[in-house]
Chain A
């Protein structure tokens, strides 16, 4: 610790050079922070917390095929299933197709039995929802996005479901209340949710009556999830609508994996960034030690041991990398709200920034070691004479 002022002084020996090197490391770690958070978010789509006790049952052959409503009763009768509910993909947008809305027709009682402790919802809103046939509960984020107020009548365009009565794809709902996520880690994935009555949907649609898109189950014992999934699928084996049941988390993962190996792309970019950075910083460190050879020789003459000189150079490299990495990671933390806008429905956790410091230390060791070794091996007489 007592050498800190010395290391600090040598670090700023050539100010301009140090600042530029520092800035390029800052940039690299800014990218590291941004890309790692996105990578982490894709790898942990549920924020890593909930969903352990939840299963999803879909048609085995295709997500576009539905299931008969009768499946609900059969699944509900299975021991180990605490609650089961059913939902259908509504495919809605508001005014323009870019305003996607995750509108879900829900059966109120069973839906809240399955998602019992997930929604932040007042009793008044709940009561109003139950009492209004055309009522909708809307996520607070969505309310804000479109400037909606409780009491508003909003038209949603479904890209799939025509209404029996009018033949139109437009459905109108009354906003009766709002909800948020209890667990902040889930806030992002339910940000564009709008809930309305399944009854209204099933009675109103012109085709597909009595069919459901998928089932969601809550299990009594999460440890039995895998076993229970098999038992559910066994119920419908060899029927014309075989099912595939899996934990909600796995279902999301399978879906995300379909976008391709996002992690690989991000890591490849980071690989390129750090390779070039290694080169740049390594070169600067080498150059700086080369220029200081006489000074280092003086230190050795004064009695600094070879080990101490080695330590000093490595410490300089560490100091540079860690300071720059911290600034870069802090900046990337600042960009999270911007990335969030570009990736709605994805939860970005600052946890992904932690490995950044370890990477900085590793980088410092890799670029610091060769010049440090050179400094250690200096022969005092030659170095003082500046014979390189």
Chain B
């Protein structure tokens, strides 16, 4: 039986070039579905990746209880002092606690592509910054100095927003701020931000408190003790989270929306492509009616005929799936875009066509091909030999 199947399949595939028009309908139809699905989902994969990368298991973020996000939160100087004495915080060479008290504000900076104002995070950070976030690297210029209006801009922000190159001057609230350098931070969410000394930012926006505190712990295991110490302290009303958990929660609403949209559109398109595949395979079968009948007449059984038609549909859709995934990768992988993230501020991220997405796309392609090939294959297998042979 396998021999029969191989023989028919090979014969079918050899005649493919003669049916190039109908066959390309399957390939192109499925390529379209997969390209759209992979590109849209690459957005959510990229966004998730950018936020997830900001988190390290050994870092904890402390917010005022019930605040949900840094932008809403408010911690006092006393709170920070209490937090810095909690157990489990790593110390630098001078014995200072590696705790960065931060103040998150949002400033208006025009976007490069539209020229309209966008909300960009200006994050005031403590002097322990480089200790708490070792992944932060200055790639141009130098770090800001405390007590003067200087800031450093993330590499992503520099690309997406106007006037953030080293040496440029940003007019914020009646004062000029100088961009002294550009930093990278493993491609994470902070690369969309501007960083400056926390007390300088505080005086500029007339705020005495902080938004959050970021603590580098001695190890990921120190978290539980650290959290318990803070949450049981009657003087404090804070939420303590591991950084990865915090950022995962921040990325969830947007990635969920994109995933729903992407999958719905792809599903509807897939149904359309399936009709296209059905059409092509039906006409392929009907064009070969006599051929199939002849095979049946000389002793080939129905199953190999059925399988061979399915194989053809599957191969064509596999080709379409790979083509679609390639197109998505070619056009969109690494493409930089920005959107409004969970914190009311812009997050710059790159689209990521991941291996998982490519595999998912190709699996979808195969599913469409199998469904689109099955009914025509069934018809081919059930063809009445006598009628088909007689047909002109």
Chain A residues with CB under 8 Å of chain B are 16-17, 20-21, 23-24, 27-28, 30-31, 35, 60-65, 91, 97, 157, 159-160, 162, 167, 169, 207, 238-242, 244, 254, 257-261, 265, 268-269, 272-273, 275-277, 279-280, 283-284, 286-287, 342
Contact = CB atoms under 8 A, between A and B. Distances in A.
A279 B116 CA distance: 39
B174 interface: yes
B276 interface: yes
Contact of B72 (A17, A23, A159): A159
Contacts of B105: 62, 64-65
Given A27-B268, A61-B108, A258-B118, A159 B276 contact: no
Contact of B339 (A31, A169, A238, A258): A258
A20 B340 CA distance: 41
Interface string B59-73: 000000111110110
A8 B329 CA distance: 44
A17 B279 contact: yes
Nearest to B338: A260
A20 B25 contact: no
Contacts of A35: 265
23 contacts: A20-B276, A20-B279, A27-B272, A62-B107, A63-B119, A65-B173, A159-B67, A159-B72, A162-B74, A207-B74, A257-B116, A258-B339, A258-B346, A261-B114, A265-B40, A272-B35, A272-B36, A273-B272, A276-B28, A276-B33, A276-B276, A279-B29, A280-B279
B205 interface: yes
B275 A62 contact: no
B340 A259 contact: yes
A159 B272 contact: no
Contacts of B39: 268
A333 to B, nearest CB: 15
A287 B25 CA distance: 12
B260 A283 contact: no
B106 interface: yes
A272 B29 CA distance: 9
Interface in B332-348: 337-340, 344, 346
Interface string B178-193: 0000000000000000
A159 B173 CA distance: 25
B222 interface: no
Nearest to A338: B264
A65 B33 CA distance: 45
B21 A287 contact: yes
Nearest to A284: B279
B174 A259 contact: no
Contacts of A273: 32, 36, 269, 272
B305 interface: no
B56 interface: no
B297 interface: no
B102 to A, nearest CB: 14
B374 interface: no
Interface string B33-48: 1011001100000000
Contacts of A342: 257, 260
Contact of B272 (A24, A254, A269): A24
Nearest to B22: A283
Given A16-B282, A62-B108, A275 B339 contact: no
Given A159-B72, A269-B40, A272-B36, A287 B269 contact: no
A159 B66 CA distance: 6
A63 B339 CA distance: 16
B173 A23 contact: no
B159 interface: no
A27 B271 contact: yes
* 9 smallest beta-carbon distances between A and B, as pairs: A27-B272, A276-B32, A159-B72, A24-B275, A20-B279, A20-B275, A280-B276, A24-B272, A260-B339
Interface in B375-389: none
A81 B369 CA distance: 65
A87 B69 CA distance: 22
B172 interface: yes
A185 to B, nearest CB: 24
A299 B232 CA distance: 92
Contacts of A283: 21-22, 24-25, 280
A61 B237 contact: no
Given A20-B278, A272-B35, A280-B29, A238 B272 contact: no
A24 B268 CA distance: 10
Given A62-B108, A169-B66, 5 more contacts: A35-B265, A64-B344, A240-B206, A258-B339, A276-B32
A287 B36 contact: no
Contact of B22 (A64, A159, A287): A287
B200 to A, nearest CB: 15
A31 B268 contact: yes
B273 interface: yes
B269 A21 contact: no
A225 to B, nearest CB: 18
